[in-house]
Amino acid sequence: MAYGGLTVPIIVMSVFWGMVGGVLPWLVPKGPNRGVINTMLVTCAVCCYLFWLIAILAQLNPLFGPQLSNETIWYLKSHWP
């Protein structure tokens, strides 16, 4: 999936948190705690989605690469694609 670029992860995560924040509140059964639970769901969805979005956007265009020791490079070269 990492090689598919940006589209697949974005779609997956957006759909997931969109469901949590937008669809689930309608499905919560009526009761005294409905308001609190809905608030919790929406806040949770917004916070977690934003956090994940920041993490992925920060890695989208790296302006510099990781610096490795030559031993690691030798090892990774032969064992990793």
Interface with another protein, residue 81, by CB under 8 A = yes
CA distance 25 to 41: 7
The least CB distance from residue 15 to another protein, in Å, is: 14
CA distance 33 to 31: 5
Q: How many residues bind to another protein according to rule CB under 8 A? A: 48
Hey, what are 65's tokens? 């690469």
Contact track, another protein, 4-43, x by CB under 8 A: xxx-xx-----------------------x-xx--xx--x
Interface with another protein, residue 60, by CB under 8 A = yes
Place of tokens 């302006």: 63
